[in-house]
């Protein structure tokens, strides 16, 4: 259902049978980890016009790993992390 690098990959897949007999398959809810619990690889300053996927590509080697940076910075909305040039972002050590 999800690639191994997805934030949803490790979540349990469950099934629910509706009253009419239809079966709905879904992933369990993902709770955001606390940013302070991440081991930090580096801190980088946001440059004007920079995007989080580009920061993830440069620092983690994968633009789709932007969510790891969001988690390490306690961001519910990842787009807010690059709104303010000069903001320091915590870059987490990649985990499997």
Report pLDDT for 58. 96
Sketch out the chain's domains with CATH numbers.
1-31 (no CATH), 37-92 (3.10.350.10)
In 3D space, the residue among 37, 34, 30 whose CA is nearest the CA of residue 7 turns out to be 30
86: phi then psi, degrees, rounded to nearest 5: 95, -15
Question: In this predicted structure, what is the pLDDT of residue 31?
Answer: 83
Q: What SS3 class is residue 69?
A: helix
**How confident is the model at residue 96, as a pLDDT?**
66
Tokens standing for 96?
A: 């499997």
**Spans of the chain below 70 pLDDT:** 96
Whole-angstrom Cα distance, residue 72 to residue 40? 8
């Amino acid at each position: 259902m999800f690639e191994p690098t997805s934030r949803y990959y490790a979540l349990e897949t469950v099934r629910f049978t509706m009253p009419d007999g239809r079966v709905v398959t879904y992933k369990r809810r993902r709770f955001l980890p606390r940013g302070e619990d991440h081991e930090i690889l580096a801190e980088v300053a946001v440059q004007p016009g920079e995007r989080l996927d580009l920061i993830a590509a440069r620092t983690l080697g994968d633009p789709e790993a932007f969510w790891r940076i969001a988690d390490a910075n306690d961001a519910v909305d990842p787009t807010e992390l690059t709104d303010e040039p000069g903001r320091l972002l915590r870059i987490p050590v990649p985990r499997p």
